[in-house]
Amino acid sequence: MEAHHSAVQPAPLELWLGVECTLNRVNDSYLNQLGTSGHDRRVQDLDQFAQLGARRIRYPVLWEQVAPDAAAPDWRWTDERLGRLQELGLMPIATLLHHGSGPRFTSLLDPHFPEQLADYARQVAERYPWLPAYTPVNEPLTTARFSGLYGIWYPHHHSDHSFVRALLNECRGTVLAMQAIRAVNPHAELIQTDDLGKAHATPTMQAEADFQNERRWLAYDLLCGRVDEQHALWAYLRASGASAEELHWFLEHRCPPDVIGVDYYVTSERFLDERLELYLPQHRNANHADVEAVRVYQTPAGIAQLLREAWARYGLPLAVTEAHLGSTREEQLRWFETFWQAAEQVRAEGADVRAVTSWAVLGSFDWNTLHTQLQGHYEPGAFDVRSTPPRPTALAKLLQTRAAGHTPEHPSLDTPGFWERPERFLYPPVGLPQLRSEVPRPARPLLILGQGELGQAVAGICAHRGLAHCVVSSAELAATEASAGTLLKLHRPWAVIYTPGYSASGYSANGTRTQRADHLTQQFWQARTLGLAQWAAACAEQNLPLLTFSSDQVFAGSSSVPYQEHDAPSPINAYGRAHLAAERQVLAAHPGALIVRSSALFGLLSVDRLLGQALQTLASGGSVPLDQDHRFSPTYLPDLIHTSLDLLIDGEVGVWHLVNRGESTWAELVQTLAQAAGVPHHRIRPTAGHDLGWPAPRPRYSALHSFRGQLLLSLDHALNRYLGDPQNGLSPFL
């Protein structure tokens, strides 16, 4: 009988995870990402990670953490975590240094650094002989640049000599570490990561771009034994202090990675331009501009092309070892999906691409300052650590889908990411555009009900984020004879955002001499509540998410601490009673609805006019009476809308409190703005609410907090952004 042999099918593309674990030194301080994210205190995070279906996880066994001095290493934390990962079947790739320079007794420039790192690696292998893979030094080239060339991290040097010395030490340390590890576990793999960006340039700057494009391979080239006298950077290395003997050492001790890990960010590709006058100060160096290519260059390489280049150069297995975008939720989904599709495409072309890594699975802190100071700037990942336990985001669902071998179908994926849309450009585009061959399919919209101030703001931010949307005005809703269900079938939205009735009368003007919502007729609020309940029922019937907004006015104001979602409402005015009735009817009709409670909004046109009038009066020498009795949580409108949209995309339900952290009275708020704007504030007249002519009672205290997760930045941070907006906060979404 003839035997039939089928071709061996390659293993499917794997999902890997990575925990942001940077432990770097800045001057005499160590900045610990694990402590900032709280992962160092939550072993239960590992169980959440395992539910995503990943095969491997880049995980810290950090030298500075385990053995910070010459005393005996403390393995207790690592024992518990690695043991739990082993039980869960989520295999670790052990990272020994992550942008670090080692404990205080050494540094990247210490001639004994390689042997010291190897000694620690040997101890790790002896402690955990089952560990399958290692990254002794994460991103050696990037770390050497930041520490030895740019002076950003310890030891804060600024020379090619220091850069080259740090890189040689890191790479020699990697070779020696793997020798020590493999003496214990001969099958241990080296997963070598680095940021693999690319430089583009004007003709005048092309020589510098060519140099940078050779330099980006140096760590891989050294480990693979490719650096000899014929190497393009041999003369540069020798002129920067490297001896021929130590370069030849790498030829004699080749340690090619088992997997080349490619890290890539939206900032990884750069565009160099000698025409300094064309660029903003933050993009200028001493003699040329250096800007993110995506902001000016028509045809960045992109992750697919960089994978092709790495495969062509080395012919070694590849993995995308960091795929992260600190942005809005749908852009995070688009970014990761772009990487996954690119990896699949390059695999189909014949390259051995093994995995795409969701980095950072818990998000990351303070990379907006290159991790030189910890200020709390947070970018969520597959989980959001601002909730306890960390809350899975929409990205977690996408990862689960990909790990299971399926294609995700979130509606926001039908729109290209901002890096492919025209609004990505900060400057006039350079070069010819790369035309898309395929015609994108039409995206299902968000249906925004109401064209008042809040509805307009939501629509503006949706446009900015590339979220397809359709707006139905309150007048159209009132005039149409079509039912909510009929309109849903007509527009085919994937979610509905209900904003009618949320306007200046409801949100803005707290503490000022303007007409309050309580002046509106009871019939208005009854009609609004009834209309919202009908939409909730229609959305529930068609299994559509619904987002609507509520108010701090549902609380009586008798508390002295901020109200949380589980606190019992007890409104004392018609506005609050209407909102509470709407909340209850919505959740009764649609338990899967999302209701966002907030407080007085700034960045809303009516409030901005009133605040502007108050500041103008003060600037001209006049006095302004402002409420001093009632404390609330002023909230910046763009923050509210962006975060509400993120929660909607995440599939969150129920009541959420979204306010900027902090509280104020109107008198205090205007005083803060006046001080920041340099306007005299001594003529603010703090005034009791009843003397301001309020027609209805107000809660004396209505500050909000969220036990589900305090997601918005501080009030001070929001006020700084509001004042810095070129439109003075009038159009913050443009």
Instruction: Tell me if 650 sits within 8 A of 703, measured CB to CB.
Output: no
- Number of neighbouring beta carbons within 10 Å of residue 481: 5
Cα(142)–Cα(157) distance, integer angstroms: 14
Looking at residue 522, its pLDDT comes to: 54
Provide the CB-side half-sphere exposure for 639 (13 A, CA): 28
pLDDT above 90 for 57: yes
The pair of structure tokens assigned to 95 is 């990272």
The pair of structure tokens assigned to 301 is 């390489």
| Strand 259-264 to 189-195 pairing | parallel
> Which residues are within 8 A (CB) of 318 and not within 5 positions of it... i.e. 6 or more apart?
259, 260, 261, 262, 307, 310, 311, 346, 351, 352, 353, 354
Nearest to 549 by CA among 506, 607, 485: 506
Nearest to 569 by CA among 558, 578, 556: 556
Q: Report DSSP state, residue 420.
A: G
CA distances from 368 to 238, 344, 371, 715 (A): 35, 31, 7, 19
Q: What is the Cα gyration radius of the chain?
A: 29
Residue type, 239: A
pLDDT digit string, tens, across residues 188-210: 999 999 999 999 999 999 999 99
Mean pLDDT of 695-706: 90
More confident residue, 435 or 423: 423
pLDDT above 60 for 138: yes
> Which residues are within 8 A (CB) of 277 and not within 5 positions of it... i.e. 6 or more apart?
none
Cα(492)–Cα(472) distance, integer angstroms: 13
Looking at residue 8, its pLDDT comes to: 52
Confidence of residue 400 (pLDDT cuts 50, 70, 90): very high
Phi then psi for residue 644, to 5 deg, are -60, -40
> Which residues are within 8 A (CB) of 509 and not within 5 positions of it... i.e. 6 or more apart?
515, 516, 606, 607, 610
Looking at residue 111, its pLDDT comes to: 98
Q: Report DSSP state, residue 691.
A: G
Mean pLDDT of 599-627: 86
Instruction: Tell me if 61 sits within 8 A of 95, measured CB to CB.
Output: yes
> Which residues are within 8 A (CB) of 720 and not within 5 positions of it... i.e. 6 or more apart?
676
The pair of structure tokens assigned to 523 is 């019939």
List strand residue ranges (DSSP E) for 242-340, in order.
259-264, 270-273, 289-292, 318-323
pLDDT digit string, tens, across residues 286-328: 899 999 999 999 999 999 999 999 999 999 999 999 999 999 9
Cα(166)–Cα(159) distance, integer angstroms: 11
Q: What is the 3-state secondary structure (H, E, C) of 550-590?
A: EEHHHCCCCCCCCECCCCCCCCCCHHHHHHHHHHHHHHHHC
Nearest to 355 by CA among 708, 131, 56: 56
Mean pLDDT of 228-255: 98
pLDDT above 60 for 728: no
Confidence of residue 690 (pLDDT cuts 50, 70, 90): confident
Cα(503)–Cα(519) distance, integer angstroms: 14
Domains of the chain: 14-198+214-266+315-401 (3.20.20.80), 446-607+633-662+702-718 (3.40.50.720)
Q: Tally helices (H) and strands (E) across the chain.
A: 24, 27
Nearest to 564 by CA among 348, 708, 718, 370: 708
Instruction: Tell me if 413 sits within 8 A of 334, measured CB to CB.
Output: yes
Give percent above pLDDT 70 in the chain: 92
Cα(497)–Cα(513) distance, integer angstroms: 30
Q: What is the 3-state secondary structure (H, E, C) of 495-519?
A: EEEECCCCCHHHHCCCCCCCCCHHH
Looking at residue 518, its pLDDT comes to: 47
CA torsion, ordered 504, 506, 510, 513, to nearest 10 deg? 60
**Cα torsion 477, 648, 727, 601: sign:** positive
Looking at residue 606, its pLDDT comes to: 74
Cα(387)–Cα(50) distance, integer angstroms: 19
The pair of structure tokens assigned to 691 is 């003397």
pTM of the model: 0.93
